[in-house]
């Protein structure tokens, strides 16, 4: 029998790590600065966290470089790195409830999602790359008999990772797990809205046996700590997840510094195409609702544009609206809550601004549209649906990153593809149909890094994830992620 957990009581007992983790130890920012880490659950200050700037980033990069150069991690055998990463995964799992609670308090997602979604996926991710790393072979090229050409994969060195707040630890794990598995040292900058789980997990990495300096965390602001990492002359690779706007800054930082490699996982405006011949319209409606309301729509591949074939428009949209009502925002610390908070006041105003824009531009508001639960001191917005959206409206073009669905109708498959591809983004696309030929044809025509058919589930850690167009380049997850954290060496030997 599982015992119900009193999450509020647990919260009052938490010890929050609020310092930077550099060279295997917690420390204050060099200039002593801190920032308030606010909980969107109720607006309370959870901690005053070290606000790292260029000096601290420099210390962390130096620690990472020293660790890389003396081989304390990079020179360990793949089998030894595997053992340590599996131990790391086990520690994350063991402290899973504490980490889930930190995530919920810090960014406002429902505790059930933090536990069953985020923490579980983080554990799997770290374990998966640990398991993978001693099963990869390098290559020998087809040369004349008089030569031997080895093509080997080497760690790239010091990896800087800058991540967002929507899945704070999971987005970080998609970077640090493959980077560490490949033998690199990592300097991670979590989002200022959600630094707490990264700091806790850095400590668990050390406990698992990842040596000092190999995994560093520098909490702080984007313009200071993030920029310093992007511009650092001794960072070899910068891996980023966040908005398209900030992603572009990292290309500039690289060009203006040391030409470090940059990989970008940026925004999205996922089209979810529902044909009248969908085999299970109820499943499609559930996919549409979960696709935009899970995590309060703060999901890079949120199915924010619902493209419905005109014949089923009315029936389908009312089914989605009925399911949306189950997403009424509630207390994130209640295990029954399906929709929690919006990450902060700024994001709340941004989402409400888009809702106003939708009304002004002439879309029909059919559900929600309001901020709720203001008496809690936290930030919450109702599930919101706009109908009769035109793909040229702002709410169909810009990433809202909130629980706001835009419904658009189409008549033919060609029109659906045209609408779906008419976006600067290309992270994901979903489609629902009973016709296999149509599904394959359309999947090929869609310009997106992931296409799902008759499901919203784009797969776990075993498949790559990343964007076309301005959704970025480079892939997280799967063995393909290792390309970002390794470089190829050719060793050409004359033997005759
Ligand atoms: P964001 O504003 O782009 O921030 C992402 C990270 O970049 C944060 O750590 C941020 O620090 C930092 N940053 C901000 N300005 C910077 C600057 N001038 N120089 C260097 N670093 C800077 O994104 P967000 O609001 O946290 O997250 C939402 C975005 O992430 C959405 O666009 C979403 O689509 C995208 N996302 C994409 C994926 C994917 O896999 N494609 C997954 C999740 C989220 P601060 O803490 O100071 O803001
Ligand atoms: Mg926070």
Say how many Å lie between the first and final Cα of the chain, rounded.
70
* Mean pLDDT of all residues in 481-488: 98
Which residues 6+ apart lie within 8 Å of 322 measured at CB?
Answer: none
At a CB cut-off of 8 Å and minimum separation 6, what does 325 contact? 367, 383
pLDDT of residue 278: 97
Q: From the alpha carbon of 189, which atom of ligand 1 is closest?
A: 9
Rounded to the nearest angstrom, the distance between the alpha carbon of 224 and the centre of ligand 2 is 18
Of 398, 391, 347, 356, nearest in space to 245 by CA: 398
Q: Are 96 and 104 in contact (CB under 8 A)?
A: no
Average pLDDT, the chain: 98
Q: In angstroms, what is the span from residue 242 Cα to ligand 1's centroid?
A: 3
pLDDT digits (tens, 9 = 90+) for 185-217: 999 999 999 999 999 999 999 999 999 999 999
* DSSP per-residue codes, 128-175: HHHHHGGG---EE----TTEEEEEEEEE-SEEEEE--SSSHHHHHHHH
Taking residues 144-162, report their average pLDDT. Answer: 98
Question: CA dihedral defined by 203, 205, 211, 216, rounded to 10 degrees?
Answer: -60
Segment (H or E) for 49: strand 45-50
Q: Decide: 449 in ligand 1 pocket, CB within 6 A.
A: no
pLDDT for 2: 67
- Measured CA to CA, the distance from residue 227 to residue 222 in angstroms comes to 6
Rounded to an integer, the average pLDDT of 244-256 is 98
Angstrom distance (rounded) from CA 496 to CA 11: 69
Q: How many CB atoms lie within 10 A of CB 359?
A: 13
Ligand that lies nearest to the alpha carbon of residue 428, given by its number in the listed order: 1
- Give the pLDDT of residue 496: 80
Q: Which atom of ligand 1 is nearest to the CA of 268?
A: 34
Task: Provide the β-strand partners of residue 217.
Answer: 21, 188
For ligand 2, a single-atom ion, the residues with CB < 5 A are 106, 193
Nearest ligand 1 atom to the CA of 229 is 20
The answer to whether residue 248 scores a pLDDT higher than 70 is: yes
CATH number for 7-266+472-490: choose from 3.40.605.10, 3.40.50.800, 2.40.50.100, 3.40.50.300.
3.40.605.10
| Cα atoms in the 13 Å half-sphere on the side-chain side of 207 | 14
Going by alpha carbons, the residue nearest to atom 10 of ligand 1 is 222
Q: Judge whether 151 and 140 are in contact, CB under 8 Å.
A: yes
Is residue 300 flagged as an active site residue?
yes
31 alpha-carbon distance from chain centroid: 30
Which tokens go with 193? 């809205």
Residue 1 has pLDDT above 60, yes or no: no
Beta strand spans in 166-256 (E)? 185-189, 215-217, 237-241
* H/E element, 147: strand 147-155
What does the alpha-carbon distance between residue 99 and residue 86 come to, in Å, rounded to a whole number? 18
- Residue closest via CA to ligand 1's atom 23 equals 242
Q: Domain 271-460 belongs to what topology?
A: Aldehyde Dehydrogenase; Chain A, domain 2 (3.40.309)
**Average pLDDT score over residue span 241-257:** 98
Q: Which ligand is nearest to the CA of 252?
A: 1
Does ligand 1 come within 6 angstroms of the Cβ of 191?
Answer: yes
Is residue 321 in contact with ligand 1, taking CB distance under 6 Å?
A: no
Q: Give the mean model confidence (pLDDT) for residues 278-297.
A: 97
Backbone angles phi, psi at 20, to 5 degrees: -70, 150
Q: What percent of the chain has pLDDT over 70?
A: 100
- Give helix 196-208 / helix 96-107 axis angle, nearest 10°: 160
Cα separation, 212 vs 65, in Å, equals: 11
Nearest-angstrom CA–CA distance, 100 and 372? 24
Q: Check if the beta carbon of residue 126 is closer than 8 Å to that of residue 88.
A: yes
Helices (H), 234-280: 244-256
Six token digits for residue 209: 């046996």
């Amino acid at each position: 029998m599982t015992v119900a957990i009193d999450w509020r009581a647990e919260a009052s007992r938490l010890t929050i790590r609020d310092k930077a983790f550099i060279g295997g130890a917690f420390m204050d920012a060099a200039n002593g600065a801190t920032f308030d880490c606010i909980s969107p659950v109720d607006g309370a200050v959870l901690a005053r966290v070290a606000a790292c700037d260029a000096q601290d980033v420099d210390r962390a990069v130096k620690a990472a470089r020293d660790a890389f150069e003396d081989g304390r991690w990079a020179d360990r055998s793949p089998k030894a790195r595997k053992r340590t990463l599996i131990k790391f995964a086990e520690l994350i799992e063991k402290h899973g409830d504490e980490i889930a609670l930190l995530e919920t308090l810090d960014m406002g997602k429902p505790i059930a999602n933090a536990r069953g979604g985020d923490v579980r996926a983080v554990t799997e991710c770290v374990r998966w790359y640990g398991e993978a790393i001693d099963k990869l072979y390098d290559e020998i090229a087809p040369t004349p008999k008089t030569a031997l050409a080895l093509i080997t994969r080497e760690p790239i060195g010091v990896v800087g990772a800058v991540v967002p707040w929507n899945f704070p630890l999971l987005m970080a794990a998609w970077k640090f797990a493959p980077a560490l598995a490949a033998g690199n040292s990592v300097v991670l900058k979590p989002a200022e809205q959600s630094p707490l789980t990264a700091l806790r997990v850095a400590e668990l990495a050390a406990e698992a046996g990842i040596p000092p300096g190999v995994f560093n965390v520098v909490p702080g602001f984007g313009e200071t700590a993030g920029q310093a990492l992007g511009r650092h002359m001794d960072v070899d690779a910068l891996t980023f997840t966040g908005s398209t706007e900030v992603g572009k800054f990292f290309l500039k930082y690289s060009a203006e510094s040391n030409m470090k490699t940059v990989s970008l996982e940026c925004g999205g405006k996922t089209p979810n195409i529902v044909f009248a011949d969908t085999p299970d319209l109820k499943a499609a409606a559930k996919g549409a609702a979960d696709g935009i309301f899970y995590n309060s729509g703060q999901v890079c591949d949120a199915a924010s544009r619902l493209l419905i074939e005109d014949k089923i428009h009315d029936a389908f949209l009312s089914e989605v609206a009925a399911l949306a009502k189950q997403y009424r925002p509630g207390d994130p610390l209640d295990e029954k809550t399906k929709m929690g908070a919006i990450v902060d006041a700024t994001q709340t105003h941004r989402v409400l601004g888009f809702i106003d824009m939708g009304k002004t531009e002439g879309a029909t508001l059919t559900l929600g549209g309001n901020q709720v639960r203001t008496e809690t001191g936290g930030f919450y917005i109702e599930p919101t649906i706009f109908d009769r959206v035109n793909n040229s409206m702002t709410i169909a073009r810009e990433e809202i990153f909130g629980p706001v669905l835009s419904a658009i109708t189409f008549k033919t498959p060609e029109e659906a593809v045209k609408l779906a591809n008419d976006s600067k983004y290309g992270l994901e696309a979903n489609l629902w149909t009973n016709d296999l030929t149509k599904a394959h044809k359309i999947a090929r025509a869609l310009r997106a890094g992931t296409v799902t058919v008759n499901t919203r589930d784009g797969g776990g850690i075993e498949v790559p994830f990343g964007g076309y167009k301005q959704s970025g380049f480079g892939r997280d997850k799967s063995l393909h992620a290792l390309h970002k954290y390794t470089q190829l060496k050719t060793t050409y030997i004359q033997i005759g």
